Structure 1
Protein backbone atom coordinates (compact mmCIF):
# COMPACT_ATOMS: atom_id res chain seq x y z
CA UNK A 1 0.00 0.00 0.00
CA UNK A 2 2.86 2.36 0.79
CA UNK A 3 4.74 1.76 -2.52
CA UNK A 4 1.92 2.89 -4.87
CA UNK A 5 1.45 6.01 -2.70
CA UNK A 6 5.18 6.83 -2.97
CA UNK A 7 5.03 6.26 -6.74
CA UNK A 8 2.00 8.59 -7.03
CA UNK A 9 3.78 11.31 -5.02
CA UNK A 10 6.91 10.91 -7.16
CA UNK A 11 4.89 11.07 -10.39
CA UNK A 12 3.08 14.13 -9.05
CA UNK A 13 6.37 15.88 -8.33
CA UNK A 14 7.76 15.04 -11.76
CA UNK A 15 4.59 16.31 -13.46
CA UNK A 16 4.64 19.53 -11.40
CA UNK A 17 8.32 20.06 -12.19
CA UNK A 18 7.69 19.61 -15.93
CA UNK A 19 4.70 21.94 -15.81
CA UNK A 20 6.80 24.56 -14.05
CA UNK A 21 9.66 24.22 -16.62
CA UNK A 22 7.24 24.45 -19.56
CA UNK A 23 5.51 27.43 -17.96
CA UNK A 24 8.76 29.29 -17.42
CA UNK A 25 10.01 28.49 -20.92
CA UNK A 26 6.74 29.61 -22.49
CA UNK A 27 6.66 32.91 -20.61
CA UNK A 28 7.54 35.70 -23.03
CA UNK A 29 10.30 37.96 -21.82
CA UNK A 30 10.09 41.59 -22.85
CA UNK A 31 13.52 43.14 -23.01
CA UNK A 32 14.51 46.36 -24.76
CA UNK A 33 17.95 47.72 -25.42
CA UNK A 34 16.83 51.19 -24.31
CA UNK A 35 14.62 52.88 -21.74
CA UNK A 36 12.03 55.57 -22.29
CA UNK A 37 13.44 59.02 -22.90
CA UNK A 38 12.91 61.57 -20.16
CA UNK A 39 13.26 65.34 -20.38
CA UNK A 40 16.82 66.47 -19.65
CA UNK A 41 17.39 69.25 -17.17
CA UNK A 42 20.58 70.95 -18.36
CA UNK A 43 23.15 71.34 -15.64
CA UNK A 44 25.51 74.24 -15.43
CA UNK A 45 28.83 73.44 -17.03
CA UNK A 46 32.01 74.10 -15.04
CA UNK A 47 35.40 75.14 -16.34
CA UNK A 48 38.44 73.74 -14.55
CA UNK A 49 42.08 74.59 -15.20
CA UNK A 50 44.76 72.01 -14.41
CA UNK A 51 48.53 72.39 -14.42
CA UNK A 52 50.92 69.45 -14.03
CA UNK A 53 54.02 67.78 -15.45
CA UNK A 54 54.29 64.34 -17.01
CA UNK A 55 57.53 62.32 -16.82
CA UNK A 56 57.95 60.00 -19.83
CA UNK A 57 60.97 57.75 -19.25
CA UNK A 58 61.72 55.14 -21.95
CA UNK A 59 65.20 54.07 -20.76
CA UNK A 60 66.88 53.17 -17.50
CA UNK A 61 66.04 50.79 -14.66
CA UNK A 62 62.45 51.97 -14.13
CA UNK A 63 61.00 53.05 -17.49
CA UNK A 64 57.48 54.49 -17.45
CA UNK A 65 56.99 53.93 -21.20
CA UNK A 66 57.78 50.63 -22.92
CA UNK A 67 58.02 49.89 -26.62
CA UNK A 68 55.70 46.93 -27.29
CA UNK A 69 55.84 46.88 -31.12
CA UNK A 70 58.01 48.16 -33.95
CA UNK A 71 57.81 47.87 -37.74
CA UNK A 72 60.08 45.22 -39.23
CA UNK A 73 60.45 46.50 -42.78
CA UNK A 74 63.48 46.42 -45.04
CA UNK A 75 64.22 49.15 -47.57
CA UNK A 76 62.33 51.81 -45.60
CA UNK A 77 64.20 54.38 -43.54
CA UNK A 78 62.38 54.22 -40.20
CA UNK A 79 65.31 55.77 -38.29
CA UNK A 80 65.75 52.57 -36.26
CA UNK A 81 68.43 54.19 -34.10
CA UNK A 82 66.14 56.99 -32.83
CA UNK A 83 64.16 56.62 -29.61
CA UNK A 84 60.79 56.53 -31.43
CA UNK A 85 61.19 55.07 -34.95
CA UNK A 86 58.19 55.24 -37.31
CA UNK A 87 55.65 52.54 -36.47
CA UNK A 88 56.80 52.09 -32.87
CA UNK A 89 54.05 51.58 -30.30
CA UNK A 90 54.53 52.36 -26.62
CA UNK A 91 52.41 51.71 -23.53
CA UNK A 92 52.79 54.22 -20.73
CA UNK A 93 52.25 54.64 -17.02
CA UNK A 94 53.83 58.04 -16.51
CA UNK A 95 53.69 59.88 -13.17
CA UNK A 96 51.93 63.27 -13.03
CA UNK A 97 53.62 65.73 -10.69
CA UNK A 98 53.06 69.26 -9.47
CA UNK A 99 56.53 70.34 -10.63
CA UNK A 100 59.14 69.40 -13.24
CA UNK A 101 61.44 67.69 -10.75
CA UNK A 102 60.92 63.91 -10.51
CA UNK A 103 60.78 64.27 -6.72
CA UNK A 104 57.82 66.71 -6.93
CA UNK A 105 54.50 65.64 -5.40
CA UNK A 106 52.85 62.89 -7.47
CA UNK A 107 49.16 63.68 -8.14
CA UNK A 108 48.31 60.81 -10.49
CA UNK A 109 49.33 58.79 -13.53
CA UNK A 110 48.98 59.08 -17.29
CA UNK A 111 48.16 55.62 -18.60
CA UNK A 112 47.59 54.63 -22.20
CA UNK A 113 49.52 54.27 -25.43
CA UNK A 114 51.16 56.23 -28.22
CA UNK A 115 52.31 55.40 -31.73
CA UNK A 116 55.10 57.05 -33.71
CA UNK A 117 53.17 57.97 -36.85
CA UNK A 118 55.37 60.24 -38.99
CA UNK A 119 57.66 59.18 -41.81
CA UNK A 120 59.12 62.68 -42.04
CA UNK A 121 61.88 64.36 -40.07
CA UNK A 122 59.47 65.67 -37.44
CA UNK A 123 58.49 63.17 -34.79
CA UNK A 124 54.71 62.92 -34.46
CA UNK A 125 52.98 60.71 -31.94
CA UNK A 126 49.31 59.82 -31.99
CA UNK A 127 48.38 59.20 -28.40
CA UNK A 128 45.58 58.10 -26.15
CA UNK A 129 46.15 58.86 -22.47
CA UNK A 130 43.93 58.72 -19.42
CA UNK A 131 45.12 61.16 -16.74
CA UNK A 132 43.97 59.59 -13.48
CA UNK A 133 44.22 61.78 -10.39
CA UNK A 134 45.02 60.13 -7.06
CA UNK A 135 45.05 63.06 -4.63
CA UNK A 136 43.19 66.24 -3.78
CA UNK A 137 39.82 67.46 -5.00
CA UNK A 138 39.85 65.27 -8.12
CA UNK A 139 41.02 62.03 -6.46
CA UNK A 140 39.43 59.11 -8.33
CA UNK A 141 38.57 61.21 -11.40
CA UNK A 142 40.30 61.33 -14.77
CA UNK A 143 40.39 63.09 -18.12
CA UNK A 144 41.14 61.41 -21.43
CA UNK A 145 43.02 62.85 -24.39
CA UNK A 146 43.21 61.41 -27.89
CA UNK A 147 45.14 63.46 -30.38
CA UNK A 148 48.11 64.03 -32.66
CA UNK A 149 51.20 65.30 -30.82
CA UNK A 150 53.99 66.78 -33.00
CA UNK A 151 56.60 66.61 -30.25
CA UNK A 152 59.27 68.66 -32.06
CA UNK A 153 57.05 71.77 -32.00
CA UNK A 154 57.66 74.01 -28.96
CA UNK A 155 53.94 74.20 -28.08
CA UNK A 156 51.22 71.71 -28.98
CA UNK A 157 47.54 71.18 -28.30
CA UNK A 158 45.70 67.94 -27.56
CA UNK A 159 41.96 67.34 -27.50
CA UNK A 160 40.27 66.33 -24.23
CA UNK A 161 37.67 63.79 -25.38
CA UNK A 162 36.14 62.59 -22.12
CA UNK A 163 36.50 61.87 -18.47
CA UNK A 164 35.10 60.09 -15.46
CA UNK A 165 34.24 60.89 -11.87
CA UNK A 166 34.12 64.66 -11.38
CA UNK A 167 35.13 65.04 -15.03
CA UNK A 168 32.25 62.99 -16.44
CA UNK A 169 31.33 64.13 -19.98
CA UNK A 170 34.46 66.29 -20.12
CA UNK A 171 35.63 68.15 -23.18
CA UNK A 172 38.36 70.68 -23.69
CA UNK A 173 41.99 70.98 -24.65
CA UNK A 174 45.48 70.59 -23.25
CA UNK A 175 48.28 72.99 -24.16
CA UNK A 176 51.66 71.39 -23.65
CA UNK A 177 55.29 72.12 -24.12
CA UNK A 178 58.41 70.09 -23.55
CA UNK A 179 60.10 71.21 -20.35
CA UNK A 180 63.19 69.05 -20.85
CA UNK A 181 64.23 66.21 -23.13
CA UNK A 182 67.20 63.93 -23.66
CA UNK A 183 67.18 63.48 -27.48
CA UNK A 184 69.49 60.46 -27.34
CA UNK A 185 67.56 58.53 -24.69
CA UNK A 186 64.11 59.92 -25.50
CA UNK A 187 63.29 60.68 -21.87
CA UNK A 188 61.19 63.82 -21.47
CA UNK A 189 59.35 66.02 -18.99
CA UNK A 190 56.31 67.73 -20.51
CA UNK A 191 54.33 70.59 -18.96
CA UNK A 192 50.53 70.51 -19.34
CA UNK A 193 48.02 73.35 -19.01
CA UNK A 194 44.56 71.80 -19.38
CA UNK A 195 41.19 73.52 -19.73
CA UNK A 196 38.31 71.13 -19.02
CA UNK A 197 34.59 71.79 -19.42
CA UNK A 198 32.52 69.33 -17.38
CA UNK A 199 29.41 69.02 -15.21
Structure 2
Protein backbone atom coordinates (compact mmCIF):
# COMPACT_ATOMS: atom_id res chain seq x y z
CA UNK A 1 0.00 0.00 0.00
CA UNK A 2 2.81 2.39 0.91
CA UNK A 3 4.57 1.67 -2.38
CA UNK A 4 1.42 2.45 -4.34
CA UNK A 5 1.02 5.76 -2.48
CA UNK A 6 4.58 6.74 -3.29
CA UNK A 7 4.07 5.80 -6.97
CA UNK A 8 0.81 7.80 -7.17
CA UNK A 9 2.44 10.79 -5.50
CA UNK A 10 5.35 10.76 -7.96
CA UNK A 11 2.94 10.52 -10.90
CA UNK A 12 1.02 13.53 -9.61
CA UNK A 13 4.22 15.54 -9.31
CA UNK A 14 5.25 14.63 -12.86
CA UNK A 15 1.86 15.62 -14.30
CA UNK A 16 1.85 18.90 -12.40
CA UNK A 17 5.38 19.73 -13.53
CA UNK A 18 4.51 18.95 -17.14
CA UNK A 19 1.55 21.34 -17.02
CA UNK A 20 3.68 24.13 -15.55
CA UNK A 21 6.79 23.83 -17.70
CA UNK A 22 5.18 22.75 -20.96
CA UNK A 23 2.34 25.30 -20.71
CA UNK A 24 -0.85 23.30 -20.84
CA UNK A 25 -2.70 24.00 -24.07
CA UNK A 26 -5.90 25.10 -22.35
CA UNK A 27 -6.47 27.82 -19.77
CA UNK A 28 -9.53 29.03 -17.88
CA UNK A 29 -10.11 32.73 -17.16
CA UNK A 30 -13.31 34.27 -15.85
CA UNK A 31 -15.23 31.09 -16.57
CA UNK A 32 -14.12 30.93 -20.22
CA UNK A 33 -11.97 28.21 -21.72
CA UNK A 34 -9.16 29.29 -24.02
CA UNK A 35 -7.10 27.07 -26.31
CA UNK A 36 -3.62 28.21 -27.19
CA UNK A 37 -2.72 28.67 -30.85
CA UNK A 38 0.84 29.71 -31.58
CA UNK A 39 3.21 29.65 -34.52
CA UNK A 40 6.43 31.59 -34.82
CA UNK A 41 6.45 31.22 -38.61
CA UNK A 42 2.99 32.63 -39.31
CA UNK A 43 0.92 35.10 -37.23
CA UNK A 44 -2.29 33.77 -35.72
CA UNK A 45 -3.89 37.24 -36.00
CA UNK A 46 -3.04 40.41 -37.94
CA UNK A 47 -4.54 43.89 -37.97
CA UNK A 48 -3.67 47.40 -39.12
CA UNK A 49 -4.69 50.39 -37.03
CA UNK A 50 -3.90 54.10 -37.09
CA UNK A 51 -3.16 56.02 -33.90
CA UNK A 52 -4.02 59.73 -33.86
CA UNK A 53 -2.22 61.85 -31.26
CA UNK A 54 -3.17 65.52 -30.79
CA UNK A 55 -0.98 67.19 -28.17
CA UNK A 56 -2.43 70.08 -26.18
CA UNK A 57 -0.01 73.03 -26.31
CA UNK A 58 -2.19 75.84 -24.87
CA UNK A 59 -3.02 77.17 -28.33
CA UNK A 60 -5.25 74.38 -29.67
CA UNK A 61 -8.72 73.35 -28.54
CA UNK A 62 -9.03 71.37 -25.33
CA UNK A 63 -11.92 69.37 -26.81
CA UNK A 64 -9.81 68.34 -29.79
CA UNK A 65 -6.71 67.36 -27.78
CA UNK A 66 -6.03 63.75 -26.89
CA UNK A 67 -2.67 63.99 -25.09
CA UNK A 68 -0.90 66.30 -22.67
CA UNK A 69 2.61 66.74 -21.34
CA UNK A 70 2.77 65.59 -17.72
CA UNK A 71 6.32 66.96 -17.22
CA UNK A 72 8.50 69.60 -18.79
CA UNK A 73 11.68 68.69 -20.69
CA UNK A 74 14.77 68.51 -18.49
CA UNK A 75 17.52 71.13 -18.56
CA UNK A 76 19.66 68.59 -20.39
CA UNK A 77 17.25 68.77 -23.34
CA UNK A 78 18.49 72.24 -24.30
CA UNK A 79 22.07 71.86 -23.05
CA UNK A 80 23.29 69.99 -26.14
CA UNK A 81 24.04 72.76 -28.71
CA UNK A 82 23.96 70.53 -31.79
CA UNK A 83 20.32 69.54 -31.39
CA UNK A 84 18.49 72.70 -30.40
CA UNK A 85 16.40 70.76 -27.89
CA UNK A 86 14.96 67.24 -28.05
CA UNK A 87 12.34 67.29 -25.25
CA UNK A 88 14.57 64.87 -23.32
CA UNK A 89 12.81 63.80 -20.13
CA UNK A 90 9.33 65.01 -21.13
CA UNK A 91 6.52 62.56 -20.37
CA UNK A 92 3.24 62.66 -22.31
CA UNK A 93 0.03 60.99 -21.17
CA UNK A 94 -2.36 60.07 -23.97
CA UNK A 95 -5.82 58.68 -24.61
CA UNK A 96 -5.80 58.55 -28.41
CA UNK A 97 -8.43 57.33 -30.86
CA UNK A 98 -7.41 54.49 -33.16
CA UNK A 99 -9.02 53.84 -36.53
CA UNK A 100 -8.85 51.26 -39.31
CA UNK A 101 -8.47 54.05 -41.89
CA UNK A 102 -6.38 57.21 -41.94
CA UNK A 103 -9.20 59.72 -41.40
CA UNK A 104 -9.83 61.18 -37.98
CA UNK A 105 -13.07 59.86 -36.46
CA UNK A 106 -16.07 62.23 -36.18
CA UNK A 107 -15.77 62.09 -32.38
CA UNK A 108 -12.34 61.94 -30.79
CA UNK A 109 -13.84 60.87 -27.45
CA UNK A 110 -16.12 58.06 -28.63
CA UNK A 111 -14.28 55.46 -30.67
CA UNK A 112 -14.42 51.68 -30.43
CA UNK A 113 -10.62 51.41 -30.21
CA UNK A 114 -8.36 53.64 -28.11
CA UNK A 115 -4.70 53.76 -27.14
CA UNK A 116 -4.16 54.72 -23.51
CA UNK A 117 -0.78 55.16 -21.84
CA UNK A 118 2.40 57.22 -21.88
CA UNK A 119 5.33 58.03 -24.12
CA UNK A 120 8.48 59.77 -23.01
CA UNK A 121 11.36 61.36 -24.88
CA UNK A 122 14.47 59.50 -23.81
CA UNK A 123 17.35 60.83 -25.93
CA UNK A 124 19.32 64.03 -25.45
CA UNK A 125 20.67 64.03 -29.03
CA UNK A 126 17.73 62.88 -31.20
CA UNK A 127 13.93 62.73 -31.15
CA UNK A 128 13.44 59.25 -29.73
CA UNK A 129 10.60 58.04 -27.55
CA UNK A 130 9.61 55.07 -25.44
CA UNK A 131 6.01 53.80 -25.36
CA UNK A 132 4.01 51.92 -22.75
CA UNK A 133 0.28 51.69 -23.48
CA UNK A 134 -2.81 49.56 -23.90
CA UNK A 135 -5.02 49.32 -26.96
CA UNK A 136 -8.56 49.13 -25.57
CA UNK A 137 -11.20 47.45 -27.76
CA UNK A 138 -14.84 48.11 -26.92
CA UNK A 139 -17.18 47.02 -29.71
CA UNK A 140 -19.53 44.16 -30.46
CA UNK A 141 -16.80 42.58 -32.60
CA UNK A 142 -13.85 42.83 -30.19
CA UNK A 143 -13.52 43.45 -26.48
CA UNK A 144 -10.43 43.49 -24.33
CA UNK A 145 -6.95 44.98 -24.41
CA UNK A 146 -3.55 44.53 -26.00
CA UNK A 147 -0.60 45.78 -23.97
CA UNK A 148 2.43 47.16 -25.81
CA UNK A 149 5.79 48.63 -24.89
CA UNK A 150 9.10 49.45 -26.52
CA UNK A 151 11.44 52.00 -28.08
CA UNK A 152 10.21 54.26 -30.89
CA UNK A 153 13.30 55.31 -32.85
CA UNK A 154 11.55 58.12 -34.68
CA UNK A 155 14.21 58.59 -37.37
CA UNK A 156 13.75 55.01 -38.57
CA UNK A 157 11.17 54.43 -41.30
CA UNK A 158 9.73 51.46 -39.40
CA UNK A 159 10.33 50.24 -35.86
CA UNK A 160 9.03 47.32 -33.83
CA UNK A 161 7.65 47.29 -30.32
CA UNK A 162 6.49 44.28 -28.32
CA UNK A 163 2.95 43.10 -27.64
CA UNK A 164 3.50 41.74 -24.15
CA UNK A 165 0.01 40.51 -23.23
CA UNK A 166 -3.71 41.03 -23.45
CA UNK A 167 -7.12 40.53 -21.90
CA UNK A 168 -10.62 39.62 -23.05
CA UNK A 169 -10.68 38.51 -26.68
CA UNK A 170 -6.88 38.97 -26.66
CA UNK A 171 -6.26 36.96 -23.50
CA UNK A 172 -2.50 36.36 -23.08
CA UNK A 173 -1.74 37.41 -26.67
CA UNK A 174 1.86 38.15 -27.62
CA UNK A 175 3.51 39.45 -30.74
CA UNK A 176 5.01 42.48 -32.48
CA UNK A 177 3.63 45.83 -33.61
CA UNK A 178 5.46 47.59 -36.44
CA UNK A 179 5.15 51.38 -36.29
CA UNK A 180 5.47 53.85 -39.15
CA UNK A 181 4.98 57.61 -38.98
CA UNK A 182 2.16 58.15 -41.46
CA UNK A 183 1.69 61.92 -41.00
CA UNK A 184 2.64 64.74 -38.65
CA UNK A 185 2.03 68.47 -38.21
CA UNK A 186 4.75 70.13 -36.17
CA UNK A 187 4.80 68.86 -32.61
CA UNK A 188 1.04 68.90 -32.04
CA UNK A 189 -0.23 66.08 -34.26
CA UNK A 190 1.08 62.79 -35.53
CA UNK A 191 -0.51 59.69 -36.99
CA UNK A 192 1.12 56.29 -36.58
CA UNK A 193 0.40 53.32 -38.80
CA UNK A 194 0.51 50.26 -36.59
CA UNK A 195 0.72 46.77 -38.13
CA UNK A 196 0.09 44.25 -35.37
CA UNK A 197 1.05 40.60 -35.75
CA UNK A 198 0.18 38.22 -32.93
CA UNK A 199 2.17 35.00 -32.75
CA UNK A 200 0.52 33.65 -29.63
CA UNK A 201 -3.27 33.63 -29.44
CA UNK A 202 -5.81 31.99 -27.18
CA UNK A 203 -9.09 31.28 -28.93
CA UNK A 204 -12.38 30.43 -27.24
- After TM superposition, is the score higher than 0.5? yes
Larger radius of gyration: 1
Tell me if structure 2 keeps the 8 A contact 1:78–1:119.
no
Aligned positions of 1:57-136 closer than 5 A: 57-59=54-56, 60-61=60-61, 62-73=64-75, 76-77=79-80, 85-103=87-105, 106-121=111-126, 123-136=127-140
Tell me if structure 2 keeps the 8 A contact 1:98–1:107.
no
* Matching residue of 1:44: 36
Q: Deviations over 1:84-107 (max 9, x none)?
A: 611100000000111111037943
Which contiguous aligned blocks of 4+ residues in structure 1 show a shift greater than 6 angstroms?
78-82
- Which one of 142, 157, 161 corresponds to residue 158 of structure 1? 161
Change in Cα spacing, 1:76 to 1:186, as seen in structure 2 (3 Å) is: same
- Which one of 177, 186, 190 corresponds to residue 188 of structure 1? 190
Could you tell me how far 1:136 is from its partner in structure 2? 4.1
Give the SS at the match of 1:92.
strand
Change in Cα spacing, 1:173 to 1:77, as seen in structure 2 (3 Å) is: same
| Mapped partners of 2:81, 2:192: distance in 1 | 25
| Mapped partners of 2:75, 2:119: distance in 1 | 20
Whose strand fraction is larger, Structure 1's or Structure 2's?
A: 2
Tell me if structure 2 keeps the 8 A contact 1:162–1:170.
yes
In the alignment, structure 1 residue 54 sits paired with structure 2 residue 45: no
Change in Cα spacing, 1:53 to 1:89, as seen in structure 2 (3 Å) is: same
Tell me if structure 1 keeps the 8 A contact 2:83–2:125.
no
| Mapped partners of 1:110, 1:39: distance in 2 | 37
Change in Cα spacing, 1:100 to 1:79, as seen in structure 2 (3 Å) is: farther
Pairwise CA RMSD:
2.6
Tell me if structure 1 keeps the 8 A contact 2:74–2:90.
no
Give the SS at the match of 2:124.
coil
| Mapped partners of 2:81, 2:100: distance in 1 | 35
| Mapped partners of 1:104, 1:195: distance in 2 | 28
